[in-house]
Chain A
Amino acid sequence: MTEAWIVVHDLDGGNALARSARALAERVVAVSVGAGGLADADLTLTVDAAPGALVEAYAQPVAALLAARGATVVAFAGDVRSRLLAGQVAAHLGVGPTNVAGVVSTAPLVVTRLAYGGLAVATDEITAPVAVLVLEPGAVTPSDVAGQGAVEPVDATPTAGLTLVETRPKGGEQVDLTAAKRVVGVGRGFAAEADLDLARAVANRLGAELACSRPISEGVGWMPAERYLGVSGATIKPDVYLAIGISGQIQHLVGVNHAKVIVAINKDKNAPIFQQADFGVVGDLYQVLPALVDAL
């Protein structure tokens, strides 16, 4: 029976990953760092994470465990902690991880990943003795086959070094832009945070979710990270995407080019976004948006 391993650190994400990993093999075995047994895996090896320890401190013992059990395919989720675990576990196993955008075949294991900011898709045949995969959202279709849910506790000693001083939970809403039918995206064409209200007014009229380019989130922090679109952010497939003050760099477009219709407002008529838009308005958003609210 083919076997895929997963390494997880939280219950919900872990079960979701177990369902995804079933697309890779018949049997799914999990290593759970501090998250207990997974109902959706067939077997979970549970590691009791020490209170206050960072899950990443278990990379080395987890790698040793995977090697001892002869794992040949090991999948991780795409969150920040899982990514670090993936890279470290892979390094201890002497291989490089692959960020998987899609799975072409499992035997041989052939996967796709984005390259050059999404300008191209690379198809990789994994040749390493152990395939370490980071499954990006949507990379595989999750299975609804139930897992066996067996649990086997294992001992692991964390590597000393990092000390968690505190965790500040992030307030605010959980958004799922992937479900939105209409999305309004804002970019650096907005000069001040308060000006986003102009876009909010349009979004309200259209019944649209508000999203942004990466600099609006990671650069100036005007919007939460889950609202930025692109190669490293969310990928959406709405009926309409309205890009306002966004230049249309490939890294951004990759997240939105599955929209049925793309509309753009930009004051630079040579902005690359117009090459990818169905309907474009060349103009100053500060003039066009109030007029658009009136017209809608």
Chain B
Amino acid sequence: MRIVACVKAAPEDSDIAVKPDRTLDLSRAQWKVGSYDLNAVEAARQVADQVGGEVIGLSVGSEGWSGSKLRKDVLSRGLDSLVVVPGDPDADSFQTASALAAAVGELGGCDLVLLGAGSSDRYAQQVGNQLGALLGRPTLNQVDAITVDGDHVRVERLLEDGVQVVDVPLPAVLSLTSGINTPRIAGMKDILAAGKKPVSEVAAAMPGASARVASLLAPEQVDRGRVVVEGDPAETAQQLAQFLTTL
């Protein structure tokens, strides 16, 4: 089976500084693969190990992939290869899905496309939903379990009020929950092997954006007391209890 796992490199949010005028300073932010994208990589690897096949990582936006560290990191976690589609990493979900759809075509198609619950920067939760529509394939979000059964997969989908069990014919596009699996931590061997895995580029056109970003600002900060006590648990608990009863 040929499985595509979509991953996005985005600036690590804990490295993003807020300037006094509330605009963001991204200059010192490391690029990182979104933590939920790793669920897609892990799920793809598990399916491939179970039924045989290859796992291709596919990412729109080349900026974050320029260094070998990030490439090695994601390749060490279960991908067989990585394909990068140059383009604006801050593209909206339709732009990204359009580029991914074109890239999947360039790669000669696949049986299953897996995506995480959402990217760490935009978290639109829509790239998979839109990609599935563009490819004209069965599509689901919030997939919490996948079992391959011949020409289809049986999935469990987490809804607000229950769990749906759905049979999905292949090829299909599935967006996963963050709880579907625990992404593996790569060992030394995996990291060494990752350096030898192929990384390539595929060009794909992107449509225009659906919105113009007028501003991007951190919210006003609330001033907090920031009293911190430390020491004997009985004593600090007593201080906390006192604080709570004054409210």
Contacts and interface: CB of A to CB of B under 8 A. Distances in A.
Interface of A: 54, 56, 59-60, 79-81, 83-84, 86-88, 90-92, 94-99, 110, 114-117, 119-128, 132, 161-170, 206, 214, 217-221, 225-226, 231-232, 239-240, 242, 249-251, 257-258, 261-263, 265, 269, 274-284, 287-289, 291-292, 294-296
Contacts of B154: 165
A174 to B, nearest CB: 9
Interface stretch (B55-63, B76-84, B224-232): B224-232
Interface residues of B, number: 86
B26 to A, nearest CB: 9
Given A96-B126, A162-B138, A125 B226 contact: no
Interface of B: 11, 13-14, 16, 18, 24, 92-95, 97, 117-118, 120-126, 128-134, 137-142, 154, 157-169, 177-179, 182, 207-219, 222, 224-231, 233-234, 236-245, 247
B179 A90 contact: no
Q: Binding site of B, secondary structure by majority: helix, strand, loop or mixed?
A: mixed
A188 B118 CA distance: 21
10 contacts: A80-B142, A96-B124, A116-B121, A124-B211, A161-B137, A165-B154, A251-B13, A280-B228, A283-B233, A291-B237
A91 B130 contact: yes
A80 B130 contact: no
Nearest to A239: B247
Contact of A86 (B126, B169, B210): B126
Residue picked from A122, A261, A288, most chain B C-beta under 10 Å:
A122
Contacts of B169: 161
Given A163-B166, A231-B123, A95 B94 contact: yes
Contact of B237 (A95, A119, A218, A292): A292
B230 A269 contact: yes
Contact of B240 (A114, A168, A292): A292
Contacts of B227: 278-280
